[in-house]
C-alpha cells in the first residue's frame, strides 16, 4: 500500500484490507454487476480473480456463455457447479418439512440458495487458494447478510468484499465502465431491467414499477407463470406422493426431487399458480415489494401441509406452525448455520416420519385446491367420523359427561365475572 493511501478502516473483522487481497473468489452470475466487478477487482486490488457460478436450477441459463465471458474478462480460473441435487436434498427438502414461508407466502427460494452458494464459495476459495470472497449484493438487501454470515461462520480465515456496496457507481456509471472495459452489455440501456433472482424453487423480480406500491403488476414481469386469465379453461388434477415428509412422486410416477420440482413447476406455470405480490419486512429494516413466481412451491407446500395435518394429532398440529415460523425466519434472516435451525430440523424429521401418502390438487386459473387425500398414517377413521353412528371407540352417550368436565373452568369463571358485574 502506498503512503498516500488512507489506512483501511474495516467496519467488520471479516472485511478485506485492500492491501492484502491477492486472489479473489468471485461469485459470478454473468450479469452486469458481477461482470463489472470481475474487471474492477483486477484493476483496484491488483488481484487475480477466480470465478464461481452455481447452478441451482435457474431456468434458461447458458453456463457455457457465462464461463466464456468470465475467461474473456480475465478470470484466471472459472468453475461452474451444478448444485441442483444438493440444493434440493439439503435445503429445499428441509424447507418442505418445515412448510417454510416468510410473510404472506414467500417460500424462501433465495434465502435457501444463498447459504449453499456461500458454502460452495468457501469450498472453491480454499481449493483455489483464494484469500477473499467477493459477491455482487447491494448494501440494502438480505442477501449480503446470508452470504457474509455464512462465510464468517464456515471460514473465519477468509475475508469478503462487496464492491457494489462500496464503489458508488450507479447503473449509468456501471454501463460506462463496462463500455470502456469491453464488457458486453445485454439489451437496451435506457430501461433498467427487473432485478431477478431465481432457482428451481422460485423466481423473484424487484425494481422498476414494482417499487410503486399502487402500481398493479405489468404483464411482462411474469416470465414463468402463465397469467391466470390466460390459463386453460379446463382444470387439471395433480397428485403428489410423499415419503417421510419429502415428495417422491407426481401423478403416481416416482421421480428424483430435482425432476419432481421441475415438473411440478411446469404444471403450475401452465395453470397460472404461484403468483405472489409481496411486501416484505427485510432484516435490514426496509419494507420492499417483490413479485414472486413460485409454481412448484404452490403445489408441493399445499400438498405437504395437508398431508402433515392429516397424520398429526390435534396437539402436534397446533404446535408445529410456531416452530415452522421460527425455522422460516431464521432462514430468511440469514442464519442457516444457527444451531437452533438444526434443533428444529430434528423435530421436523420426527414429525415427518409419519408424513407419507398422497394428496390430489386441482389447479385452475391460478388456484390450487386440495381435492383428495390418502395415507396409511392418517389419524382418521371413516366409521368413527360418520355423523350419526355410535359404537367402537366412540360412544355418543359419553359426550355429555365430557362436555360437563371440559367446560368446568370456563363456566366457573363466567359465573364469577357475572357476580362481579352485578
Ligand atoms: N426479497 C427476497 C429475499 O430477501 C428475494 C431477494 C432476491 N434477490 C435479488 N438479488 N434480487 O430473500
Please tell me what DSSP assigns to residue 194. P
Helices H / strands E in the chain, number of each: 15, 14
Q: Are residues 151 and 230 in the same domain?
A: no
Catalytic, 205? Answer no
pLDDT tens track for 295-353: 999 999 999 999 999 999 999 999 999 999 999 999 999 999 999 999 999 999 999 99
Identify whether 337 is part of a domain.
no
CA of 195 to the centre of ligand 1 (A): 9
CA distance 320 to 205: 31
Asked, for residue 6, whether it belongs to a domain, the answer is: no
- Is the confidence at residue 129, as pLDDT, over 60? yes
Q: Is the pLDDT of residue 4 over 60?
A: no
Give the angle 361-362-365 at the CA atoms, nearest 5°.
Answer: 135
Q: Is 114 a catalytic residue?
A: yes
Query: Is residue 255 located within the same domain as residue 226?
Result: yes
Residues 293 and 232 in one domain: yes
* Per annotation, catalytic residue among 29, 35, 114, 205: 114
- Residue 338: inside a domain, yes or no? no
Whether 1 has a pLDDT exceeding 70, the answer reads: no
pLDDT number for residue 2 = 45
33 catalytically annotated: yes
| 28 and 148 co-located in one domain | yes
Where residue 168 falls among pLDDT bands split at 50, 70, 90? Answer: confident
Averaged pLDDT, 403-408: 98
Output the residue whose Cα is nearest ligand 1's atom 4.
Answer: 142
Do residues 290 and 175 both lie within one domain? Answer: no
The number of angstroms, rounded, from the C-alpha of 234 to the middle of its chain's C-alpha atoms is 30
Phi and psi (nearest 5°) for 247?
-65, 135
Q: What is the torsional sign of CA 303, 305, 311, 314?
A: negative
Above 80 in pLDDT, residue 387? no
| C-alpha to C-alpha distance for 333 and 115, rounded to whole angstroms | 11
Residues 103 and 130 in one domain: yes
Catalytic residue among 29, 35, 84, 143: 143
Q: pLDDT tens, 251-286? A: 999 999 999 999 999 999 999 999 999 999 999 999
46 inside domain: yes
Q: Whose CA is nearest to atom 10 of ligand 1?
A: 197
User: Cα(260)–Cα(343) distance, rounded to whole angstroms?
Assistant: 28
Look at 136-145, 178-187, 356-365 and tell me which has the smallest mean pLDDT: 178-187
Of ligand 1's listed atoms, the one at least distance from the Cα of 111 is 12
Residues 296 and 236 in one domain: yes
**Percentage of residues of the chain with pLDDT beyond 90:** 89
Model pLDDT, residue 5: 58
Considering the domain architecture, whether residues 408 and 362 belong to the same structural domain is answered as no
Domain boundary among 157, 192, 227: 192
Segment 399-403 shows an average pLDDT of 96
- pLDDT band at 7, cuts 50/70/90? confident
Q: Are residues 210 and 145 in the same domain?
A: no
Identify the pLDDT of residue 197: 97
290 alpha carbon – ligand 1 mean position (Å)? 8
Residue 361's pLDDT band (boundaries 50, 70, 90)? very high
Q: Which of 23, 128, 195, 208 is catalytic?
A: 195
pLDDT of residue 369: 98
Mean pLDDT of 237-246: 98
| pLDDT tens string 224-240 | 999 999 999 999 999 99
Q: How many angstroms is it from 204 CA to the middle of ligand 1?
A: 7
> Is 322 contained in some domain?
no
DSSP 196-243: EEEETTEEEEESGGGGSTT-PPPGGG-SSSPPGGGS-SS-EEEEEEEE
User: Which value, in Å, is the radius of gyration of the alpha carbons in the chain?
Assistant: 26
> Which residue's alpha carbon is at the smallest distance from atom 2 of ligand 1?
110
107 and 51 part of one domain = yes
**Average of per-residue pLDDT across 151-175:** 94
pLDDT mean over 71-75: 97
Does residue 369 lie in a domain region? yes
pLDDT of residue 303: 99
Q: Is 219 a catalytic residue?
A: no
Greatest mean pLDDT among 184-193, 328-337, 374-383 lies in 328-337
Q: What is the CATH number of the domain that holds 229?
A: 3.90.1260.10
User: Where a domain ends, among 174, 192, 210?
Assistant: 192
Cα dihedral 330, 311, 247, 205 sign: negative
pLDDT, mean of residues 197-222:
97
97 within some domain? yes
Average pLDDT of every residue of the chain: 95
The residue assigned the cell 405480490 is 277
Domain count, the chain: 3
Strand partners, 203: 198, 293
Look at residues 96, 92, 102, 93 and name the one whose alpha carbon lies nearest to residue 325. 102
Same domain, yes or no, for 250 and 188?
no
What pLDDT is recorded for position 94? 98
Task: Report pLDDT for 192.
Answer: 80
- How many Å apart are CA 332 and CA 25, to the nearest integer? 25
Cell of 210: 414494482
Q: Which of 192, 219, 238 is the last residue of a domain?
A: 192
Residue nearest atom 8 of ligand 1, based on CA coordinates: 197
Residues 275 and 167 in one domain: no
Domain of 51, CATH number, reads 3.40.50.620
Domain range for residue 186? Answer: 18-192
Which pLDDT band holds residue 100 (cuts at 50, 70, 90)? very high
d(CA 419, CA 421): 5
Is the pLDDT score of 3 beyond 60?
A: no
Catalytic hit among 29, 33, 205, 356: 33
Length of the chain: 422
Decide if 166 is inside a domain.
yes
Amino acid at each position: 500500500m502506498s503512503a498516500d493511501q488512507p489506512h483501511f478502516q474495516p467496519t467488520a473483522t471479516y472485511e478485506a484490507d485492500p492491501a492484502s487481497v491477492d486472489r479473489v473468489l468471485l461469485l459470478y452470475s454473468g450479469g452486469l454487476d458481477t461482470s463489472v466487478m470481475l474487471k474492477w477487482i483486477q484493476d483496484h486490488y491488483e488481484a487475480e480473480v477466480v470465478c464461481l457460478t452455481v447452478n441451482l436450477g435457474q431456468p434458461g441459463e447458458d453456463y457455457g456463455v457465462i464461463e466464456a465471458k468470465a475467461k474473456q474478462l480475465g478470470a484466471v480460473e472459472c468453475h461452474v457447479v451444478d448444485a441442483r441435487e444438493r440444493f434440493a436434498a439439503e435445503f429445499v427438502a428441509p424447507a418442505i418439512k418445515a412448510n417454510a414461508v416468510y410473510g404472506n407466502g414467500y417460500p424462501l427460494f433465495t434465502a435457501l440458495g444463498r447459504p449453499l452458494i456461500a458454502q460452495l464459495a468457501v469450498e472453491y476459495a480454499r481449493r483455489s487458494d483464494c484469500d477473499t470472497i467477493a459477491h455482487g449484493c447491494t448494501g440494502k438487501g438480505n442477501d449480503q447478510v446470508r452470504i457474509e454470515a455464512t462465510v464468517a461462520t464456515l471460514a473465519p480465515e477468509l475475508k469478503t468484499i462487496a464492491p457494489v456496496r462500496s464503489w458508488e457507481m450507479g447503473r449509468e456509471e456501471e454501463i460506462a465502465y463496462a463500455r470502456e472495459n469491453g464488457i458486453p452489455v445485454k439489451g437496451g440501456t435506457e430501461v433498467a431491467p427487473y432485478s431477478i433472482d431465481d432457482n428451481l424453487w422460485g423466481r423473484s423480480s424487484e425494481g422498476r414499477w414494482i417499487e410503486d406500491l399502487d402500481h398493479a403488476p405489468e404483464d411482462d414481469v411474469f416470465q414463468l407463470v402463465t397469467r391466470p386469465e390466460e390459463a386453460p379453461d379446463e382444470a387439471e388434477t395433480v397428485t403428489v406422493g410423499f415419503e417421510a415428509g419429502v415428495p417422491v412422486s407426481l401423478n403416481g410416477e416416482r421421480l428424483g426431487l430435482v425432476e419432481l420440482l421441475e415438473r411440478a413447476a411446469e404444471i403450475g406455470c401452465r395453470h397460472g399458480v404461484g403468483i405472489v405480490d409481496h411486501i416484505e419486512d427485510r432484516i435490514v429494516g426496509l419494507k420492499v415489494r417483490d413479485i414472486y413466481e413460485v409454481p412448484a412451491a404452490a403445489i408441493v407446500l399445499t400438498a405437504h401441509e395437508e398431508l402433515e395435518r392429516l397424520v398429526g394429532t390435534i396437539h402436534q398440529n397446533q404446535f408445529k406452525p410456531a416452530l415452522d415460523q421460527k425455522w422460516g425466519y431464521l432462514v430468511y434472516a440469514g442464519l442457516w448455520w444457527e444451531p437452533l435451525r438444526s434443533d428444529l430440523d430434528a423435530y421436523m424429521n420426527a414429525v415427518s416420519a409419519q408424513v407419507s401418502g398422497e394428496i390430489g390438487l386441482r389447479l385452475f386459473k391460478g388456484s390450487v385446491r386440495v381435492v383428495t387425500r390418502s395415507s396409511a398414517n392418517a389419524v382418521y377413521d371413516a366409521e368413527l367420523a360418520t355423523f350419526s353412528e355410535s359404537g367402537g371407540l366412540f360412544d355418543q352417550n359419553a359426550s355429555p359427561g365430557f362436555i360437563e368436565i371440559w367446560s368446568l373452568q370456563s363456566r366457573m369463571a363466567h359465573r364469577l365475572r357475572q357476580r362481579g358485574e352485578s
